[in-house]
Homo-oligomer: A and B are copies of this chain.
């Protein structure tokens, strides 16, 4: 999906959720989209400062939190970063694959595996909530 298409889909998704994709939030989303792969909050902050002259950390963190909450971004804890969700619109549980060699990130649907995990967790009395899994390894290009 191209950038404009993604923004349109994001807009729609926000409407459906009854939340607002304000100008600031849209700008932050576009800044994230402008990067390949994982983006860090302070990178977005720097970009935002370049575009608007001034911005403080809370401004960026609020927008990023909103976008994660709205399902447009995923947080990648292991890297203190964010990625664009590649499955906006479809209800999904993502499997985020991070290449430890080149840093490349991809996302696939993980529903079947999640089912197995859910069952196993329930044996411990533990109810896992919907979420994305992060796995590290080597991408095709890097494991020649």
In whole angstroms, how far apart are the Cα atoms of A121 and B108 in the complex?
A: 8
Q: Mark A125-144, 1 if CB is under 8 A from B, else 0.
A: 11111010111111110010
Q: A120 within 8 Å of B by Cβ? A: yes
- In the complex, the count of this chain's copies comes to 2
Q: Give the bracket for the number of chain A residues in contact with chain B.
A: 20 to 34
Q: Given known contacts A77-B78, A126-B99, A126-B106, is B135 in contact with A117 (CB within 8 Å)?
A: yes
Q: A53 within 8 Å of B by Cβ? A: no
Q: A18 within 8 Å of B by Cβ? A: no
Query: Which partner residue on chain B sits nearest A126 by CB separation?
Result: B97
Q: Given known contacts A77-B77, A78-B77, A113-B113, is B136 in contact with A129 (CB within 8 Å)?
A: yes
On chain B, the residues within 8 Å of A127 by CB distance are 137-138, 143
Pick the residue among B116, B121, B138 that contacts A129 (CB under 8 A).
B138
Identify the 3 closest CB pairs spanning chains A and B, nearest first.
Answer: A125-B140, A128-B137, A77-B77
